[in-house]
Amino acid sequence: MPADPAHGTPAPGTPTRVTLTDDGPVLVHGPVEVELPDGRRLRSERAVTALCTCRRTRRPPFCDTSHRTRVREENHS
Protein backbone atom coordinates (compact mmCIF):
# COMPACT_ATOMS: atom_id res chain seq x y z
CA MET A 1 0.00 0.00 0.00
CA PRO A 2 1.54 3.35 -1.00
CA ALA A 3 1.94 6.33 1.28
CA ASP A 4 -0.80 8.94 1.46
CA PRO A 5 1.07 12.08 0.30
CA ALA A 6 -1.75 14.38 1.41
CA HIS A 7 -1.34 13.32 5.04
CA GLY A 8 2.27 12.17 5.05
CA THR A 9 1.13 8.74 6.21
CA PRO A 10 3.78 6.09 5.55
CA ALA A 11 2.84 2.77 4.01
CA PRO A 12 2.21 -0.03 6.54
CA GLY A 13 5.47 -1.65 7.61
CA THR A 14 7.45 1.48 6.77
CA PRO A 15 9.49 2.71 9.75
CA THR A 16 8.67 6.12 11.17
CA ARG A 17 11.30 8.64 10.14
CA VAL A 18 12.70 10.90 12.88
CA THR A 19 15.03 13.77 11.97
CA LEU A 20 17.36 15.29 14.56
CA THR A 21 18.30 18.93 13.96
CA ASP A 22 21.39 20.71 15.30
CA ASP A 23 19.74 23.65 17.04
CA GLY A 24 16.05 22.93 16.74
CA PRO A 25 13.32 20.40 17.30
CA VAL A 26 13.10 16.69 16.67
CA LEU A 27 11.04 16.20 13.50
CA VAL A 28 8.73 13.16 13.40
CA HIS A 29 7.40 12.33 9.93
CA GLY A 30 3.81 11.10 9.79
CA PRO A 31 1.13 10.83 12.47
CA VAL A 32 2.44 10.57 16.01
CA GLU A 33 1.12 10.03 19.52
CA VAL A 34 3.18 11.61 22.31
CA GLU A 35 2.87 10.34 25.88
CA LEU A 36 3.54 13.04 28.48
CA PRO A 37 5.15 12.42 31.90
CA ASP A 38 1.72 12.63 33.57
CA GLY A 39 0.37 9.86 31.30
CA ARG A 40 -1.70 12.09 29.01
CA ARG A 41 -1.39 11.39 25.31
CA LEU A 42 -1.40 13.99 22.56
CA ARG A 43 -1.86 13.05 18.93
CA SER A 44 -0.70 14.91 15.85
CA GLU A 45 -1.92 14.02 12.37
CA ARG A 46 0.44 16.47 10.66
CA ALA A 47 2.79 15.33 7.90
CA VAL A 48 5.72 16.46 10.09
CA THR A 49 5.47 17.14 13.84
CA ALA A 50 8.18 19.21 15.53
CA LEU A 51 8.91 18.20 19.13
CA CYS A 52 10.68 20.81 21.25
CA THR A 53 14.11 20.01 22.68
CA CYS A 54 15.08 23.47 23.97
CA ARG A 55 12.25 23.72 26.54
CA ARG A 56 11.49 27.32 25.52
CA THR A 57 8.21 26.46 23.79
CA ARG A 58 4.91 27.76 25.08
CA ARG A 59 3.17 24.70 23.59
CA PRO A 60 4.97 21.69 25.11
CA PRO A 61 5.82 19.17 23.85
CA PHE A 62 5.45 20.79 20.42
CA CYS A 63 7.95 23.30 19.03
CA ASP A 64 6.71 26.87 18.54
CA THR A 65 10.08 28.11 17.16
CA SER A 66 10.99 29.89 20.42
CA HIS A 67 14.54 28.58 19.94
CA ARG A 68 14.90 30.93 16.95
CA THR A 69 14.26 34.03 19.08
CA ARG A 70 16.94 33.01 21.57
CA VAL A 71 19.51 32.40 18.82
CA ARG A 72 18.87 35.84 17.32
CA GLU A 73 19.26 37.52 20.72
CA GLU A 74 22.61 35.77 21.26
CA ASN A 75 23.82 36.84 17.79
CA HIS A 76 23.19 40.54 18.56
CA SER A 77 25.53 40.54 21.57
Task: Read off the pLDDT of residues 19-49 as tens digits, 9 standing for 90 and up.
Answer: 998 888 999 999 999 999 999 999 999 999 9
Note whether residue 37 is domain-resident: yes
Assigned domain for 6 exists: no
Question: Are the beta carbons of 49 and 19 closer than 8 angstroms?
Answer: no
- Cβ proximity of 52 and 60 under 8 Å: yes
- Domains of the chain: total: 1
Asked whether residue 1 carries a pLDDT value surpassing 50, the answer given is no
Q: Which domain holds residue 54?
A: 18-75
Is 1 contained in some domain?
no
Residue 50 forms part of a structural domain:
yes
In total, the chain counts a number of residues equal to 77
10: in domain: no
Kindly tell me if the per-residue pLDDT of 8 is higher than 70: no
pLDDT of residue 2: 46
The pTM for the full model equals 0.69
The residue among 19 and 75 whose pLDDT is bigger is 19
Neighbours of 59 (CB within 10 A): 9
